[in-house]
Structure 1
Amino acid sequence: MKLRADAVLFDKDGTLFDFGATWDVWGGEAIAELSGGDPGLQEAMAISAGYDLTDKKFRPDSPIIAGTNREAAECLARALPGQSVEEVELYLMRAAAQAPLSEAVPLVPFLAQLAALEMALGVMTNDTEFAARSHLRTAGVEGMFDFVAGFDSGYGAKPDPDPLLAFSVATNIAPDRVIMVGDSRHDLIAGRAAGMQTVGVLTGPATEADLAPLADIVMPDIGGLLGWVTLD
């Protein structure tokens, strides 16, 4: 069987896990807890984070969606007198590890099918590695990946291509034989800069129009990858 690539590198939030179902409710709860229930602080934090308190979801232009855990902490800390960025960052790391997960597709059988094609698999997220591993462990798939990295793993963060190239080095697979799969422009910009094939998915806030200019193909979710990766 001929394949388009020898490896797949996934983003996490909005790609392996549906963004809205996983993070929208969690975001409201985190804002409520950090504010101590103060309505004024909640409103200020929501504005800074691009979060709609009425609809209980992140706006598509939220800086938190594709940002790192540190950047999310900086957004929220700006509206929190008396709390440092470091304190908010630690809270978010621990709270994010407990977020309710909604798999974009049933991950165990999906990843097993890719592994059966002898493809190397990895995850690179702008979340922390701690939260990433916690989420993958909860989903029962951590051991199915050859590489797991967060923005704090020492390789950098998307849209920089360096963390993607670290996956290529770790697996000894040339970048042009790697597919980068993500739900944001950050993911695809990084993939293109790394010389990888790029696949956009619509399980995050971005639209097809947002992703199409940077993607070889845009799919409703990662499930479509199984048919696309095989050439015969």
Structure 2
Amino acid sequence: MRVDGILFDKDGTLFDFNATWVAWVEALIARWSAGEAGLADRLAGAVGFDRTARAFRRGSVVIAGTPEDVAGALAPVLGRPAASLVERLNAEAAQAPMAEAVPLTPLLEGLRARGLRLGVATNDAEAPARAHLGAAGVTGLFDFIAGFDSGHGGKPAPGMCLAFAAATGLDPARVVMVGDSTHDLLAGRAAGMQTVAVLTGLASAEVLAPLADTVLPDIGALPGWL
């Protein structure tokens, strides 16, 4: 089917998930626990992170959740309202050292040269998402950037996907949603889009394949698939 636009998830899709977020969550736990081992273990448990294995557990709220979801998981451990933690989490996330899944500039420039409209739909907040894309030098290559707090809702609901189609004037059926989680693929399907799964997140091909038109190793394989 003809493709006129591509909507990307951010974490685990544009950026390799483990290479970015393992070091980030370890640093966050160290800062927020102030060196108290018991508290560090409880914080790690709340967000589904195995400190010994240095890996996120399947189902971790960090993988596909919003900052509000992560704050909600941490709030009982810290004894603070979740709402009071969201801004702090967003500030922490904006400083995360992002690792590009593939060199982004040549890939995105090549897709734009084909006449494709490009967007980002992430369950991260919009401000840190823009900070990450800016640090990679690719913000200007996107026609649309939305986070869970941009007014369209979060995934797996289709709001961000439909907002991208509306902003670019594209038929959703001629847009591909590219992501590394079932949240991404469910959102794309609910919006009537084509869906492509990539394996630079934590979900396996077996988990993603039933919801995807194809499963690729990473977004570098998109031009060949197109």
Provide TM-score, normalisation by structure 1. Answer: 0.95
SS of equivalent residue, structure 1 residue 152: coil
2:109 to 106, 109, 112: 112
Q: Is the 8 A contact 1:25 1:57 kept in 2?
A: no
1:143 and 2:121 matched: no
1:210 to 182, 207, 219: 207
Deviation at 1:224, TM superposition (A): 0.6
How far does residue 42 in structure 1 lie from its aligned partner after superposition? 1.1
Q: Percent identity?
A: 56
> Matches of 1:44 and 1:122 in 2, distance apart?
37
Give, as a single letter, the amino acid of the residue that structure 2 aligns with 1:221.
D
User: What is the aligned counterpart of 2:89 among 87, 92, 96?
Assistant: 92
Q: CA deviation at 1:96?
A: 0.6
Distance 2:224 2:106 in 1: 14
Distance 2:108 2:129 in 1: 16
1-structure distance, mates of 2:57, 2:135:
27
Moved segments of 4+, more than 6 Å: none
Equivalent in the alignment of 1:35: 33
Within 5 Å, give how 1:95-174 maps onto structure 2: 95-174=92-171
In 2, the alpha carbon distance for the partners of 1:143 and 1:178 equals 20
Question: Does 1:177 pair with 2:174?
Answer: yes
Q: Does 1:200 align with 2:200?
A: no
Contact 1:27 1:57 in 2 (8 A): no
Separation in structure 2 between the aligned mates of residue 84 and residue 57 of structure 1, nearest angstrom: 27
The match for 1:20 is: 18
Counterpart of 2:53 in structure 1 is 55
Shift of 1:57: 2.2
Distance in 2, matches of 1:171 and 1:185, equals 24
Equivalent residue letter for 2:133: L
SS of residue in 1 equivalent to 2:215: strand
SS at match of 1:16: coil
Instruction: Tell me the number of residue pairs that the alignment of Structure 1 and Structure 2 aligns.
Output: 226
Q: CA deviation at 1:87?
A: 2.9
Shift of 1:114: 0.1
Corresponding residue SS for 1:25? helix
Tell me if structure 2 keeps the 8 A contact 1:182–1:201.
Answer: yes
1:185 and 1:167 map into 2 onto residues whose CA distance is: 19
Instruction: Give the unaligned 5+ runs of structure 2.
Output: none
What is the CA distance between 1:86 and its match in structure 2? 2.5
SS at match of 2:77: coil
Structure 1 unaligned regions, length at least 5: none
Q: 2:77 aligns with which of 79, 84, 93?
A: 79
Provide the rounded CA distance (Å) in 2 between the counterparts of 1:152 and 1:24.
Answer: 24
RMSD: 1.0
Shift of 1:60: 2.2
- Superposed displacement of residue 109, structure 1: 0.2
